[in-house]
Structure 1
Amino acid sequence: MLHGREGELRAVDGLLGQARTGASGVLLIRGEPGIGKSSLLEHAEAAAEGFIVLRGAGVESEAELPYAGLHLLLLPVLHLVDELPAVQATALRAALGMVQGPGEDRFLVGVAALSLLAEAAGAGPLLCLVDDMQWLDKASADALLFAARRLRAEGVAMVLAGREEFAPAGLPELPLSGLAGAAAAALLDERVPGLSAQVRERVLAEAGGNPLGLIELPATADHTPFPLGPLPLTRRLQDAFSDKGAGLPEQARTLLLVASAEDTGELALILRAARAFGVHEDALEPCERAGLVRVEGTRLVFGHPLARSAVYQAAGFARRCAVHRALAEVGDQERRVWHLAAAATEPDERLAADLESSAEGFRARTGHAAAAAALERAAALTPDEADSTRRLAAAAEAAIDSGQFDRGRQLAERAATRSTDPLLTARMAMIRADVDFERGALEAACATLMTASQAVAATDPAPARTMLLLVIRNSWYAGDPAQAEEAAARLDRLPRLEDPRRPASAMARGMSALLAGRPARAMPLLREVVEGGRQVRHDLHGLRNNAAQVALLVGDHEAALDIARTLAEECAARGMIGWLPHVNLVQAAAELHLGRHLDAAATAAAGEAIAGQTGQSHLEAQLCGVRAWLSAAAGRERECREMAARAGGRPYGAAWAQWALGLLDLGLGRYDQALDRLDQVVTHQAAAVADLVEAAVRLGTPERAARSLAWLEEWTAAAGRAWAVALIERCHALLSNDEERFARAVAADERPFDRARTQLLYGEWLRRERRKHDARTPLREAADAFDRLGAGPWAERARGELRATGETLTRDPGVELLGRLTSQELQVVRLAAKGATNKEIAAQLFLSPRTVGHHLYKAYPKLGVTTRTELAALTLS
């Protein structure tokens, strides 16, 4: 019986109930050691009648082997791996060491794990239990958390437990605190009856409601005085477990120590290592009687993780080293190296080289955190100072690749302090700058890069070039033209080393010129980048990705969308999840500008979710900004403000956030607020100038938009984009009440939203001129277009103007057909309509096939269809 946990038990039982109906869910149980996390997992397993149950646990160990925890968790269902989409199956097999192969995107392993759990749940609901998440190897934890955040309709219940310091974002949490007085007393009396009043009172006071403390602390009362000073409960519990172990026979204590130093729990391996000390399996019996360990199948499991820690820490250093050497003799090659490293007491180049070789293998399997640990230990064991520093630098880079930014920065600073190699120092500077960039400290990042680039420019211009390009990127986000100009000038002084088909310098000079307000100089340079990108194939990390982003800067939204779609298909085919948010941002922005609001919303939502799950905060901020703008256009004020707050909190998303809020204010008639906001973003978003002019005209202060309009005219003359010409015509029509300019603006703009905006303004002007009949056509077309786009406030405004002309327009219910779908449903039905199977859709959208089926089940009635054949007949664009 679990005393005092009624609410927690209901939460766990509710999660199991969901899974029985085919829904999925995850619950993260957090709390201090001994608070009852494991007991809730045991309750979940006991209550999961009819479930397939998978159990795993993190193990506190220096030997952080990549995907070791995930392998043990999924082992019972790995026979189903052939049922996964091919790219996912390949990634999972390589990560788990089932086949030799290059490492894939580390988050693809998480999608593969999700698909495998979903496949296993096809035979009935599945319960996945993982204890001590804080000790799970980082590769396994990343994959499992990625899978957990994408659970939808697989019939999978996932319960994760970890200490308070384990706090990943985006998961439903169940925090555990100490038991209340009555529940604590009831547990103590049930488990340890017959205590004297004095001891009972002291235990209740010392345990603070911690269930394991209530159970274990009384065992020390008979022969050890309670500590007088305040000790952390973890230490007190470790002491209690140490006392249990201290009373065992010598051979039993040795067997426990071997088990505590071995991270897989394989009983046969533990017994083989124990024989080196003359210990045999009969030594296991007293350990079991004491409740310290139990045998589960072929594995030896500690009764509580603190028992493992207590046994290991209580042993002397010499005994621990001897045990690690014994384990090295019986384990596989990877674990052999780790155990030898744990036992090493002096520099050893051969062992350091073996660790470095292991790190290369870990990185090939995307186990970057394990590689960082191996390289850091290798650096400590390396006799030569230069080689030690080189390995420390490699550890810093591996830590950054694993998403451990604080650790990576610390290692980089240590390596830079010791380095005499300017190129290595430059690499470490780039790591420090990358961390500052991720945190939004753009000024600090620029300062680091400028200093480091100057130091290395004379010896090797290649890294100096890279660093100066990063300064210009950072300056763009920070709105610092002076810094960008200085970086571009330094870049021009470097030798020209680049391939002319990869014009990085052109991109840098163009961006700095555009930021400085010189579009005539910027546009030819930036168009060179776009054209170069269109000619290159299979270059995801290079020019094509840059070209797609630059295409947005020059206003070539069609080119940006074309390149981005190709890149998105390539990312899906190759399972490159980490790159998708980069591509999704460009694609969503291009779709937005082209008036494809439903497409943009689906793309941005998918990219934002992945960016959040993969820790790419700068991309998450910008994608939230795109979503804020789309919410503003649709008149969803609350959603717009929420998304803008998430975007505007980082410098990368500030321009999008302010434009979105300005558009929202403009649509709701709050022109003064709109003007103030839009004035801040026009240099980053040329299209925002038309909104600024409209707000200024509405307020009767057109002079406030004069400078921005002049800039847009200069930008348009350099860019030569028809949509920009149409916006200028609209602006001048508003300023001068010139009907010919209204007409030219409508004729020149093929983008649905902007064309409808112009038609609305034109119709309003015609009505004010008492030309009601003439006003009806542009107003009617505007209302229809706004309805198709889901732009509610704008459609209402157009219908209001129509009513003022004496005509009433009813809404066509079929217009909102696609608007009834969620973003993910829209993506799924479009792929299904093209004939893709659920498995093919799952592979492309990084979902499980069962979730794809769930989305189709939800979408069919919204669209009024029942089969894929009917779906293919719909217009879904």
Structure 2
Amino acid sequence: MHPSPLDTHGAGGAEPVGRREETAVLDGLLAGARGGRGGALALWGEPGIGKSALLRRAHDRAADFTRLPHRAARSESDLPFAGLHGLLRPVADRIASLPADRGAAWAAALASGAVPRDRLSAGAAVLSLLCVLAEERPVLVLVDDAQWLDGATARCLGIVARRAAAHPLAVVLADHGDPAARPWEGVPDLRVGGLDPESARALHAAVAPHADEAAVLAAVDGAGGNPLALLEAAGADRGPGGTGPLTGPGLPPVGPRTRRAFRAALDAVSPPARLLTVLAAAEDHGDLLAVERAGRARGIDDTAWDEAASAGLLRVAGDRVGFRHPLVRRAVRACCDAATRRRAHRALAAALPEESDEHAWHLAAAARDRDENVAGLLERAAARSRLRGAPAAEARALRRSAELSPAPVDASRRLAGAARAAWDAGDAAAAERLLDDAERLSPGVHTTRGSRGLRGVIEHSRGAPDLAHHYLAADMELVAEPGTALELGTAALSAGWAAGRGDLAARTLASLLELDVEERSDLPLLLTWWEDGPATGAAPAGAAGFTDSVARARRTAPRLLPPSPLAVVWGIDAAVGDALRRRVPHLRRRSEPARLADALAHTSTLDGFAGRWTRAESAAVEGLRLAEEVGADQIAAHCRNCLGWLAAVRGDAHRAAEAAGRVLDTALPEGSRAVSAAASWIAGMANLFQERPREALDTLLHLTEPGNGAAHPTFALLAALDTAEAAVRVGRPEAAGEQVELLRGWARRTGAPWARTAARAAEALLGGSRAEDSFRAALEVPGARSQPLLYGRARLLYGEWLRRERRRTDARLHLGGALEVFDRLGAESLGRRARRERDLTGPPGRSGGRGDRDGAAGVRLTPQEQRIARLAAERLTNREIAAELRISHRTVGHHLGNVFAKLGITARSELERARGGPGPG
């Protein structure tokens, strides 16, 4: 038997992987022949599927048989009895044992190379010879590539196979097509299908044990269970100088042996069936009607359809025509010459409506040179894809259109459009490469218009806002459509805001107000939301102005709404959140990952402030994954900040610091102050909530420090209450006063409930005779509860103030309310602080806390003494304790003296030991 193309799949006695059912059938056939009752089997399946490996295994398992293997050859398929000549030559010396009338004819034939003319007598003679051999020991006939047997031999073997049961004779024929259409009709058959995924992985591992998971998945998926294709994908047959197995993702190419095998399968059918198969392979969508029309125009009738189906090449189901697996389609394409493929595409184009996308694509596939007519058809197809919300299809059509464009300026314009479509589809690398190609080919305003200002969009996504603003503002003046100019203008506003450059934003605002767009009348008011600096002559908004602002936000187009941090400071976060949540499903349907990631990042921010932390985390995680996939660094940083903020408010200082540090390392060099400021705020907040006010203040002051890379007015506003609290706790009331004035001014300008609540709470932190009025006012602001974390903190600060004023019943009420909020949110560090403060007030109806009584000696410590003793036991100095408790260091010393006297100790080192009894525990 000649070496099989699949010897590797079962050589050396190894079991073919994943072929338990087939080997069981073959073993049963051999066992029957050993017992005196023979049989026949026709194995069939597509090229490379493993038939030869099964024949090889049967040959190896039949060492006790007389084995007659043969592999048919295409070159001999038109020579009568050529197959029998090759099959029987090893036993030519036994022909003499046949009856004289048969043996003499075959002896002469085999000696001379001639063959008997009487095919019926030839069949009988072959059967007689095999029976003579079988009298000595069982006989095994193995024929590979039986589709290439000459007709006379095939008919002879059909006679033998159908009569084998009466003798110790086993006949196995391997063919590409359905045996029902062959001369051995009626012989039992077994179709060899593709390997299951587990078996395919096992075969790949046997050949390429060190391939990475991505390469394995790509090979297994691309091969579709075809062992030959899988082995070639794994690099099993790469000779000296080869590159070894595939080690990365992507669809593996159709290997040379797989191409040859499928080429042989195509050659085995008639020219009409061959052309029909190529037409079906060229029709990507499996449109049966299109293939039928194209086939009829080329004279293809039902006979060719039946032949292609019987050969296992085509499958028809309903109105679809296709193949067992995409590998088969790819292999058929690969084994055709270019001229044949072009003819197929031209035939399909002629069979399709001229206004269809498929018509344009088939003409493009058939084109041999640049063709403006076909390029124009593809450009119109791209426009239809854009209307359907299919940016990937749009990019593909425009790119091919550019390749077919005779004029460089047209090619450049179409490449620019392809770049924008690729960006919308989430392929940032391809988008930038296409845009670079467009600008090199023929630079000019057409690239800006074709890409709709993509260069600035790319720079903004990278976190380079100054450069992004430069491009966006300039391109805004160049694009033709006012709607696109408005889109670029708002993106320029966002870039100016991200850079912390109010001057850039102001210039862009002036340009936007000159646009002739549908929203023109609303622009002056709507665009004020992009400002976060001090009011410039604007009248205070008050509650009525805030209500009107929210109503406007609910009515305006999403593209005019500001980024989520600005929406929060303006108090329109609920309206913006609603708009974003309506937009997310639309972006999912359109498969626009970059825009979806951006929307998720902003949704996460708004959900976080609204207290929906689980939802916020989910949105940030998904947004981060999408942003990293498309290379949108700015959006990825925003998502990391969202996750860092959630870690900080939940009390996970380590994760908060890790997220903030990663963002700061990348954002500061690029000049994205909004991202850097958010990360600094997160770091400061985490320190504050972990009761490290000094470190918190050092970080938070960066937000208002002129020239600092993290200085940003929006985040300075959002962090103002944190900064004020940290400043008060370290004894810097002047720094806290600056934050109070900042919040007061913003509250007057916007009327936003959060600003009014934060301003009043910060005022109260400064103390004085009106502290309680300020706390009460903070909690009574309409809408204050819409930000539960802020509201809970206001109650916590008020409760702490009440406890220090020895109003323990009132303090317990507010501390308990704050604790309820923190527990519901999952703000663990703030919850611990609220619980500790509440415990210091003592149980309801008692004047002391639960730790007032000394179980050993009856000594009683006041709640303040307990707290000071605990901090002193932790080795804090008097000044550090004073800053922590917001009292003077002299008061700390006085209380410590009382603690020492009551506990009978003389040194701080003894406090730790005393904590087991009356200590502050």
Structure 1 length-normalised TM: 0.56
1:293 touches 1:302 (CA, 8 Å); kept in 2? Answer: yes
Q: Aligned letter for 2:723?
A: L
CA distance in 1, matches of 2:750, 2:200: 56
Secondary structure of the residue aligned to 2:285 is coil
Q: Aligned letter for 1:321?
A: R
Distance of aligned partners of 1:565 and 1:175 in 2 relative to their CA distance in 1, 3 Å threshold: farther
Task: Tell me the equivalent position of 1:329.
Answer: 350
Candidates 655, 669, 679, aligned match of 2:701: 679
Task: Tell me the equivalent position of 2:833.
Answer: 797
Of stretches 241-250 and 601-610 in structure 1, the one that deviates more from structure 2 is: 601-610
Task: Tell me the equivalent position of 2:492.
Answer: 471
Task: Tell me the equivalent position of 1:597.
Answer: 611
Displacement, 1:495? Answer: 8.0
Displacement, 1:791? Answer: 3.3
Distance of aligned partners of 1:419 and 1:275 in 2 relative to their CA distance in 1, 3 Å threshold: same
Task: Tell me the equivalent position of 2:815.
Answer: 779
Matched, 1:229 2:259: no
Distance of aligned partners of 1:216 and 1:809 in 2 relative to their CA distance in 1, 3 Å threshold: farther
1:426 touches 1:453 (CA, 8 Å); kept in 2? Answer: no
Q: Aligned letter for 2:419?
A: A
2:743 touches 2:756 (CA, 8 Å); kept in 1? Answer: no
Secondary structure of the residue aligned to 1:320 is helix
CA distance in 1, matches of 2:364, 2:608: 55
Task: Tell me the equivalent position of 2:762.
Answer: 731
What is the aligned-residue identity percentage? 30
Secondary structure of the residue aligned to 1:806 is coil
What do the CA deviations read for 1:590-623 (whole angstroms, capped 9, x no partner)? 6655xx414x653664586478569796567546
Of stretches 497-506 and 684-693 in structure 1, the one that deviates more from structure 2 is: 497-506
Of stretches 345-354 and 361-370 in structure 1, the one that deviates more from structure 2 is: 345-354
Q: How does 1:599-638 map to 2 (within 5 A)?
A: 601-602=614-615, 605=618, 609=622, 622=638, 625-626=641-642, 628-635=644-651
Candidates 687, 694, 707, aligned match of 2:725: 694
Candidates 769, 772, 775, aligned match of 1:745: 775
1:261 touches 1:323 (CA, 8 Å); kept in 2? Answer: yes
1:580 touches 1:607 (CA, 8 Å); kept in 2? Answer: no
2:259 touches 2:334 (CA, 8 Å); kept in 1? Answer: no
What do the CA deviations read for 1:530-563 (whole angstroms, capped 9, x no partner)? 95773587643444x3498755333xx2x44246
Candidates 683, 686, 690, aligned match of 1:664: 686
- Greater RCO, CA 8 A, separation 6+: 1
Q: Aligned letter for 2:611?
A: H
Matched, 1:241 2:259: yes
Displacement, 1:322? Answer: 1.0
Displacement, 1:669? Answer: 1.9
Task: Tell me the equivalent position of 1:377.
Answer: 400
Number of aligned residues: 607
Distance of aligned partners of 1:641 and 1:739 in 2 relative to their CA distance in 1, 3 Å threshold: same
User: Where in structure 2 are there 5+ consecutive unaligned residues?
Assistant: 1-14, 21-47, 51-194, 210-218, 246-251, 705-712, 847-921
Task: Tell me the equivalent position of 2:330.
Answer: 309
Q: Aligned letter for 1:806?
A: G
Task: Tell me the equivalent position of 2:249.
Answer: none
Matched, 1:764 2:776: no
Of stretches 560-569 and 525-534 in structure 1, the one that deviates more from structure 2 is: 525-534
Secondary structure of the residue aligned to 2:684 is helix
Distance of aligned partners of 1:691 and 1:809 in 2 relative to their CA distance in 1, 3 Å threshold: farther
Task: Tell me the equivalent position of 1:496.
Answer: 514
Q: Aligned letter for 1:801?
A: E
Q: Aligned letter for 1:795?
A: G
1:259 touches 1:270 (CA, 8 Å); kept in 2? Answer: yes
Task: Tell me the equivalent position of 1:806.
Answer: 842
Distance of aligned partners of 1:440 and 1:330 in 2 relative to their CA distance in 1, 3 Å threshold: same
1:4 touches 1:179 (CA, 8 Å); kept in 2? Answer: no
Distance of aligned partners of 1:532 and 1:413 in 2 relative to their CA distance in 1, 3 Å threshold: farther
CA distance in 1, matches of 2:656, 2:207: 48
CA distance in 2, matches of 1:567, 1:421: 35
Q: Aligned letter for 1:394?
A: G
CA distance in 2, matches of 1:625, 1:647: 7
Q: How does 1:200-599 map to 2 (within 5 A)?
A: 215=228, 227-230=239-242, 234=252, 237-246=255-264, 248-249=267-268, 251=271, 253-266=274-287, 269-270=290-291, 273-274=294-295, 301-302=322-323, 305-331=326-352, 333-383=356-406, 387-417=410-440, 422=445, 424-425=447-448, 428=451, 430-450=453-473, 452=475, 456=478, 467=488, 469-479=490-500, 481=501, 484-486=502-504, 488-489=506-507, 492=510, 496-498=514-516, 502=521, 504=523, 511=530, 514=532, 517-520=533-536, 534-535=551-552, 539-543=556-560, 545-546=561-562, 551-554=567-570, 557=571, 559-562=572-575, 564-565=577-578, 568=581, 589=605, 593=609, 596-598=610-612
CA distance in 2, matches of 1:2, 1:701: 80
What do the CA deviations read for 1:383-415 (whole angstroms, capped 9, x no partner)? 555555444443333333333333333333344
Secondary structure of the residue aligned to 1:496 is coil
Q: Aligned letter for 1:688?
A: A
Q: Aligned letter for 1:534?
A: A
Of stretches 287-296 and 790-799 in structure 1, the one that deviates more from structure 2 is: 287-296
Displacement, 1:344? Answer: 1.8
Distance of aligned partners of 1:808 and 1:430 in 2 relative to their CA distance in 1, 3 Å threshold: farther
1:358 touches 1:371 (CA, 8 Å); kept in 2? Answer: yes
Displacement, 1:660? Answer: 3.8
CA distance in 1, matches of 2:206, 2:335: 33
Displacement, 1:756? Answer: 3.6
What do the CA deviations read for 1:144-194 (whole angstroms, capped 9, x no partner)? xxxxxxxxxxxxxxxxx9x9xxxxxxxxx999687444999xxxxxxxxxx
Distance of aligned partners of 1:524 and 1:465 in 2 relative to their CA distance in 1, 3 Å threshold: farther
Alpha-carbon RMSD: 5.4
- Which structure is larger by alpha-carbon Rg, 1 or 2? 2
Task: Tell me the equivalent position of 2:137.
Answer: none
Secondary structure of the residue aligned to 2:714 is coil
CA distance in 1, matches of 2:482, 2:286: 52
Q: Aligned letter for 1:471?
A: A
Distance of aligned partners of 1:227 and 1:782 in 2 relative to their CA distance in 1, 3 Å threshold: closer
Secondary structure of the residue aligned to 2:431 is helix
What do the CA deviations read for 1:130-149 (whole angstroms, capped 9, x no partner)? xxxxxxxxxxxxxxxxxxxx
Displacement, 1:664? Answer: 3.2
Task: Tell me the equivalent position of 1:830.
Answer: none
Q: Aligned letter for 2:241?
A: G
Displacement, 1:321? Answer: 1.1
Q: Aligned letter for 2:551?
A: R
User: Where in structure 1 are there 5+ consecutive unaligned residues?
Assistant: 7-33, 37-160, 164-172, 185-205, 220-224, 811-877
Distance of aligned partners of 1:214 and 1:582 in 2 relative to their CA distance in 1, 3 Å threshold: closer
What do the CA deviations read for 1:792-840 (whole angstroms, capped 9, x no partner)? 4323322222222222799xxxxxxxxxxxxxxxxxxxxxxxxxxxxxx
CA distance in 1, matches of 2:429, 2:834: 53
Task: Tell me the equivalent position of 2:166.
Answer: none
Displacement, 1:230? Answer: 0.8
1:604 touches 1:624 (CA, 8 Å); kept in 2? Answer: no
2:605 touches 2:616 (CA, 8 Å); kept in 1? Answer: no
Q: How does 1:90-239 map to 2 (within 5 A)?
A: 179-181=204-206, 215=228, 227-230=239-242, 234=252, 237-239=255-257
Structure 2 length-normalised TM: 0.54
Secondary structure of the residue aligned to 2:334 is helix
